[in-house]
Structure 1
Amino acid sequence: MRGEVLRALLLSHLTPAGEVAKADVRGARISGQLDPRHGDITSQCT
């Protein structure tokens, strides 16, 4: 998955107050750059 695409999915859409964008990505390789500026990114590895 291209980092630019993942960033766009998470940060380009407005969400209602109190909600956050989420992507469940498992077993994927992130290629390119994933620029987390202007976002709050957390990870849950299981």
Structure 2
Amino acid sequence: MSVVLIGNRRGGVGKTTIVINMATKLLEKGYRVLLDRGDCCVYKR
């Protein structure tokens, strides 16, 4: 089992786009994919 983590502290850098595209390609190749979204940062107002 392999694990891939995509992360960056900044918002708006394309993490979701990269993850969705990568997951789509892996599914097309027959891999099983699990996506989980976690927010590591607490935003201060």
TM-score range, shorter chain: 0.3 to 0.5
From the CA coordinates, give the structure whose radius of gyration is larger: 2
| Higher RCO (C-alpha under 8 Å, 6+ residues apart) | 1
Higher helix share: 2
Give the TM-score normalised by structure 1: 0.32
